[in-house]
Structure 1
Amino acid sequence: MPHPEIGIIMGSDSDLPTMQAAIQVCEDFQVAHEVAIVSAHRTPLRMVEYAQQAHSRGLKVIIAGAGGAAHLPGMVAALSPLPVIGVPVRSSHLSGLDSLYSIVQMPRGIPVATVAIGNAQNAGLLAIQILASHRPELLQQVEHYRRRLGQEVLDKQHRLDDIGYRRYRAEQFSSE
């Protein structure tokens, strides 16, 4: 396997179900990646080492998922010259708002791109797009993916036109 270009890190193994979507995007686009548990609070020295050495190990982008206090994305961004994408992980107490606020409230000079609460898929896609800005073959894959998304919407509209909204709703949303 080639050297990883995307690092997918999380503060706890309980974040893995959320972060799985970013992993899947990397696999779908066949981009080498690594997955690690790097806690800002329980293993701070490991976090510092990971962040400071990521670029020298060949990583190009870091996706950092964190719940609760959600310090991991911001601390990694403060320690690494690489782009960092923060994924707020839904928490049981504040539904992920605490994580979101923590990640988006970075001071000037230390940016962290942030996606919606629990939306690691978009974090994965953003990481792919960052890489695609310098890799024409990956850019073509992103364009194909976008066309496919658009076609899915058009296919749904055609189905809706064919069978009407009542039947469409009954078929699509019968489990509600």
Structure 2
Amino acid sequence: MDMNKPLVGIVMGSDSDLPVMREASDILDELGVPWEMLISSAHRAPEKTANYARQAAGRGLAVIIAGAGGAAHLAGVIAGHTPLPVIGVPIASGALNGVDALYATVQMPPGIPVATVAINGAKNAGILAAQVVSAGLPEVRDKIIDYKEKMARQVDEKSTRLHELGIDGYLNARGGK
């Protein structure tokens, strides 16, 4: 894999999804995985979406993250047009606050898998994409190991601080309840 070209495609159905999907690009940056990003709707730009998915593997992408709200067919449409793994990010929106997007993303027919993260879970989608890429890139795998070790240290530090300060002192130090 060429670390000078994007390895992960991040696609969103609307610019309103950008604040959530940015979390995927942020964590990919932290883990040293190059990415590209675009807006392409499964419904409003179906040909653009299908062409992107069809060409992704040939351009060197290894995985695609697709985030959408509402009917959220973006990840499934992309998965139907590419051999690459697709990670769906259901985006909270509308009257159902993302539950509709979750169901639309996770309930795929046999033969068209979409790995699905939590509603607004773009950070986890980015980590999962990095883990997929790391199968062939030990330097990315090492960064993921470091990232997880850092999280574990943070939990230990919080536990130690809770023990030292007690519940009220800990909460007060955090700025309240």
Counterparts of 1:21 and 1:32, CA distance in 2: 14
The answer to whether the aligner puts 1:119 opposite 2:121 as a matched pair is yes
The answer to whether the aligner puts 1:106 opposite 2:86 as a matched pair is no
The answer to whether the aligner puts 1:13 opposite 2:36 as a matched pair is no
Counterparts of 1:50 and 1:62, CA distance in 2: 10
Amino acid at match of 1:145: Y
Structure 1 outlier segments of 4+, above 4 Å: none
TM-score by length of 1: 0.97
Q: How does 1:1-40 map to 2 (within 5 A)?
A: 2-40=4-42
Q: CA deviation at 1:98?
A: 0.3
Q: What is the percentage of aligned positions where both structures have the same residue? A: 49
Q: CA deviation at 1:97?
A: 0.2
Counterparts of 1:56 and 1:133, CA distance in 2: 19
Structure 2 stretches lacking a partner, 5+ long = none
Counterparts of 2:104 and 2:128, CA distance in 1: 20
Aligned with residue 48 of structure 1, among 31, 50, 54: 50
The answer to whether the aligner puts 1:149 opposite 2:151 as a matched pair is yes
Counterparts of 1:97 and 1:4, CA distance in 2: 31
TM-score by length of 2: 0.96
The answer to whether the aligner puts 1:165 opposite 2:152 as a matched pair is no
| Secondary structure in structure 2 of the residue aligned to 1:82 | coil
Q: CA deviation at 1:26?
A: 1.2
| Secondary structure in structure 2 of the residue aligned to 1:54 | helix
Q: CA deviation at 1:12?
A: 0.5
Determine the structure 2 residue equivalent to 1:92. Answer: 94
Amino acid at match of 2:33: V
Deviates more, 1:150-159 or 1:131-140: 131-140
What's the RMSD between the two structures over aligned residues? 1.1
CA deviations on 1:12-42 (whole Å, 9 max, x unpaired) are: 0110011010010111112111000011111
